[in-house]
Structure 1
Amino acid sequence: MPRHEISVCGKRYGTSFTAQRWCSWNIGGLLGILVSVSIHIYSVLVSFFYLISQSAVAMACFWILYCPTTLLALVSLYQATTTDPGAVPLGARPLTTVRSVDSTTKRTIRRCPKCHDNFKPSRAHHDSQTGRCIVKLDHYCPWINNAVGIGNHKFFVLFLLYTALCCIQVLLLLGLQFYGAAWLCSEEEERSSTPCHDNTSSSLHSHPLLLILAGISCLFLIFTTAMGYEQWEAVQTGYNKIARMQMKVGQHGTEWHRHEVPFNEVLGNTNRWSPFHALQFPTGLRPVVLGYEWDPAMQQVYVEDDDNNELERPSALNDDVEMQTLTPNHRSPSSSPHSSSERSHSRNRRKAPTSRSGSLEIV
């Protein structure tokens, strides 16, 4: 799918290399996020008009628990939708690597033909819906209209968590409503010694809405619980779905090894359960986790030099060669970004793709 880009008030929104704000214009995804928001709004309105009027306990649960949880769910949804999931920028180049075992096989670095032969890190995979290579791509979710990757995986998990809590609280409000109605009816029957019909007849107009709300709540509770159970494995291990599938069949390489610094690559180490804070990388570990270096001044596809052929393509099937990633503080002078940039400018380079809206601009 091509990378769409729309200009709004001087800002370019899209998933292209030149977009200034991340936004997927997938039609199915736009409908999915519309459904997600509509269901939350429908639940709030029905609960407010029909579930809290006759019970002080239900009113307290609604204002103290349900409304804040719904707000957190909507904020998580917004963050998961508008956050860059970890797209590899144009001009990204590989980290300095050292091979611990000599190999006679010389291969070039990994590139993505769908991204104009841009460098493709070892843990990145191309997402056809957004048209970009995403670091630690888990899947594309139509409910958030975005790919789930290293950048927004936390917000996706929080969206599932808060949505499941909303469903539980709605079912609790429904239970309080019908229990209160049954209790009032029994009290009236005891006083008048006649069958109670008033409460039932006065609430018939609201029963279809409440039945729809109950069905939606049960359905999404099952869905979010199942998805959350699957994502909890990613939270515990730090591996995305593609990595776990490769590890199950024994097709994983050294790129899935843990880092020396303890770091949860899904939730981070600080502000884990807050949808208002993005994933924070430990000092000096950001390029190591992402698998590439990037200089905003480099606006062209990275091309390795002839003397840089020691860079070997990371392969899931190549288990006889181990790659050791060096942190920026241990990088050799010859492999610094400035020296690499100077050498690259002196050689023939691929021309950067241009945008329909004008010249290329890295933001």
Structure 2
Amino acid sequence: MFQMELEEIVTTRPSYKSKSPYKKRKADKIQTDSVVFLDLNCLFRPFGYVNPSLRHVWFVKDICGIVCAVFTWLLVLYAEYVVMFVMLIHESSNISSFLHGLLFNLFAFLAIASHLRAMLTDPGAVPKGNATTEGIKHLGLKKGEVVFKCPKCISIKPDRAHHCSVCQRCIRKMDHHCPWVNNCVGENNQKYFVLFTLYICLISIHALYLAVSHFVSCVGRDWKGCSGLSPPATTIFLIFLIFEGMLFGIFTGIMFATQMSAVCSDETGIEQLKKEERERRSRWLSMKAVFGHPFSIRWFSPFATPMFLGSEKIYYSV
């Protein structure tokens, strides 16, 4: 999923690493781009809404990721249909049904919004092809300072950046590539991915509770007035919702806990696998580095773009 090979560019003298300096090398070739930039303003322009941030929206052209993303939306829509039209609309307690419906729809809306932000946000891609002689000179490196070059996308590789074979780009602070959001989880969109796992876990637990309680209630009432569907159809819908709630509740709960552990320890999934040793921030600063500074209710909003603490250096002294 990511390419570990690095080419070191030294500002003092070339290092050939046991290879003959006179051996002719093949020219570096940049991979074809698997990312397109969409203009989504055309969708909202008829309603009189134009946003400059929607002019260049990141989108990964990966058929597996697109299928997984659409499948995620369909699962949320299925849960929405069963909760609203099979269970709550036929409940006798109008106040309780209204509150459950309001809470479920709120979390479902936040989950879909978080998913779209995680999918359509540039995760922190390094510009392609900037590791040229001119580009390196513009860095103003001093004697003894080195940078790393990715041989796949021919880019200057910042600290904590890794190459993604799906996005075909180097991603800053890359954690992993997630097909469910059809994007890498990196420096710029980790907040939205964490919120996505949180809200999916919450609606899964809520749907599971509603489905089990509705099933028990229907059995107690001998299926009278349970829904507008027949008892067999209602049972099938509830069983599938219970299975979906259990499966994705556990899965996203584990993912949320894993992501929060990585955020608090200031260590990405790739860095955990490589067991890289480096200086880390405190837990509170690590949280601010992902969710923004300072702490506010905007941490839980997928519509709020976090203000990051700062970027990592891209060169080292040797």
Task: Determine if the TM-score, normalized by the shorter chain, exceeds 0.5.
Answer: yes
Residue 201 of structure 2 aligns to which amino acid in structure 1?
Answer: A
Aligned counterparts of 1:96 and 1:236: Cα–Cα separation in 2? 34
Task: Indicate how the Cα distance of structure 1 residues 3 and 39 shifts in structure 2: closer, same or farther if over 3 A, else same.
Answer: same
Cα offset, 1:266, TM superposition: 2.2
Give the counterpart of 2:307 among 280, 293, 318.
280
Give the counterpart of 2:153 among 77, 97, 115.
115
Q: Describe how 1:1-363 pairs up with structure 2 within 5 A.
A: 2-4=32-34, 20-52=56-88, 53-56=90-93, 59-90=97-128, 91=130, 108-116=146-154, 118-185=155-222, 202-247=230-275, 251-253=276-278, 256-258=279-281, 262=285, 264=287, 265-269=289-293, 270=295, 271-282=298-309, 286=310, 289-292=311-314, 312=316
Cα offset, 1:61, TM superposition: 3.8
Cα offset, 1:107, TM superposition: 6.9
Partner of 1:50: helix, strand, or coil? helix
Give identity over the alignment, percent: 30
Deviations 1:267-292 (A, max 9, x none): 2234211111122124xxx3xx2435
Tell me, yes or no, if the aligned pair for 1:125 and 1:134 is still in contact at 8 Å.
yes
Aligned residues: 261
Q: Which runs of 5+ in 1 are unaligned?
A: 12-18, 100-105, 186-195, 293-310, 314-320, 322-363
Q: Partner of 1:325 in structure 2?
A: none
Cα offset, 1:24, TM superposition: 0.3
Task: Indicate how the Cα distance of structure 1 residues 97 and 66 shifts in structure 2: closer, same or farther if over 3 A, else same.
Answer: farther
Instruction: Please list every run of at least 4 consecutive aligned residues from structure 1 whose deviation after the TM superposition is greater than 3 angstroms.
Output: 5-11, 90-99, 196-202
TM-score, normalised to structure 2, is 0.72
Aligned counterparts of 1:108 and 1:8: Cα–Cα separation in 2? 36
Residue 268 of structure 1 aligns to which amino acid in structure 2?
Answer: G
Partner of 2:147: helix, strand, or coil? coil
Aligned counterparts of 2:37 and 2:286: Cα–Cα separation in 1? 37
Aligned counterparts of 1:221 and 1:174: Cα–Cα separation in 2? 14
Aligned counterparts of 2:72 and 2:226: Cα–Cα separation in 1? 33
Task: Indicate how the Cα distance of structure 1 residues 55 and 165 shifts in structure 2: closer, same or farther if over 3 A, else same.
Answer: farther
Aligned counterparts of 2:38 and 2:175: Cα–Cα separation in 1? 30
CA RMSD of the aligned region, Å? 3.2
Tell me, yes or no, if the aligned pair for 1:246 and 1:252 is still in contact at 8 Å.
no
Aligned counterparts of 1:10 and 1:74: Cα–Cα separation in 2? 17
From the CA coordinates, give the structure whose radius of gyration is larger: 1
Residue 36 of structure 1 aligns to which amino acid in structure 2?
Answer: T
Cα offset, 1:245, TM superposition: 2.9
TM-score, normalised to structure 1, is 0.64
Higher relative contact order, chain-length normalized (CA < 8 Å, sep 6+):
1
Cα offset, 1:164, TM superposition: 0.3
Partner of 2:221: helix, strand, or coil? helix
Q: Which runs of 5+ in 2 are unaligned?
A: 1-30, 42-54
Tell me, yes or no, if the aligned pair for 1:124 and 1:136 is still in contact at 8 Å.
yes
Cα offset, 1:58, TM superposition: 5.2
Deviations 1:49-71 (A, max 9, x none): 21111242652243221000000
Task: Indicate how the Cα distance of structure 1 residues 207 and 121 shifts in structure 2: closer, same or farther if over 3 A, else same.
Answer: same
